[in-house]
Amino acid sequence: MRVLVVTNLQADADAPQRGRWVHDQVSELRRLGVEMEVFSFPIGRRAYAPATRRLRGKLRRDSFDLVHAHYGLAGLVAAAAGAKPLLVTYHGTDVRHKMVGALSRRLARRAALNAGVSRELFEPEGDRPGLPLLPGRSAVLPCGPDLRRFQPMPRGEARKRLGLPPDEGFLFFPANPDRPEKRHDRAAELARACDARLITGGHNDPEAMPLWFNAASVVLITSDYEGFGMATLEALSCQVPVLSTPVGIAPFALSGLPGCLAEPFDVASWKPVADDHLGHLDPRVAGAGRAAAFSAERMAARVRVAYEEVLGARED
């Protein structure tokens, strides 16, 4: 089986972690024996037309059994270039964004299979509609955390490697604070209430993210919405407490897990939990098993099955 992955989720100086989960999935699929090639192009509206021309030429020159696009706009480029059969994985903003979401829903009618990284992407959220549920053409296919990278390590060692004080507890907001849907303002409000230091991510070296999770006393996911919520699982893989709004995978991953929350943001209810963790030198939670259920290896196996089903349907 030969598959071409099309993605514009490219890392850059402002977002060095962007798209890492796509490449993790590609690596796992290769381990499963799927021949994978990646066609990538930068974000930005000026990139779409040149990318479509380059991809159209590639599809004429090379033969692929299936094209798998990650993110709705990458799927539109693939469809315009004539990719067939086309599987599109939607990651969140491509569904919830006012303009891009409308384009993604239109694309869904053309793709052989539409995969949301969570079931929630097929449901409305406030005034934002979800993806259409099309019989036989809808699936949930997350990208999971690479458990080879995200593992527990002593907090003191992680802080030493990052050059942080060994005894200082801090709250970690792993997203880019400039993205409004991530709601950095909520994390800052909780940090003030706890009289605690808040460290933000978004610009961190992706190779250092396991260190940042292990160094933190608490990880904060304060988003208005998440397509999936990879940071929640990466933190749990490191057995670090997570306080999250009920978005993406959080309600399932954190439900009933002592020391964690998946509740609407409220300083009065979040503060006591955060304070308790901040008061301990190395607070941990039993979250590794929850995260393992969604590992990159397991999710890639599901994607391979989806590939086989799409190709099987074309042969019938």
Among the residues of the chain, which ranges form H helices?
20-31, 48-61, 72-80, 93-96, 98-108, 155-162, 184-194, 209-215, 230-237, 250-254, 267-278, 288-292, 296-315
Contact 77, 86 (CB under 8 A): no
Phi and psi for 96 in degrees, rounded to 5? -85, -25
CATH 3.40.50.2000, applies to 2-144+295-315: yes
Residue of 174, 201, 147, 175 whose CA lies nearest to 27: 147
Domain boundaries of the chain, sorted by first residue: 2-144+295-315, 155-292
Range from 158-162, 165-169, 181-185, 276-280 carrying the lowest mean pLDDT: 165-169
Q: How confident is residue 126, by pLDDT bands cut at 50, 70 and 90? A: confident
- Chain centroid to Cα 229, Å, comes to 5
Provide the mean pLDDT of the chain: 93
Residue 36: predicted pLDDT: 98
Q: Which two tokens stand for residue 205?
A: 């070296």
pLDDT at position 83 over 80: yes
d(CA 48, CA 42): 9
pLDDT digits (tens, 9 = 90+) for 34-71: 999 999 999 888 999 999 999 999 999 999 999 999 99
Instruction: Kindly state the percentage of the chain with pLDDT values over 90.
Output: 80
**155-292, CATH topology level:** Rossmann fold (3.40.50)
pLDDT digits (tens, 9 = 90+) for 179-223: 999 999 999 999 999 999 999 987 788 889 999 999 999 999 999
Domains 2-144+295-315 and 155-292 agree in fold: yes
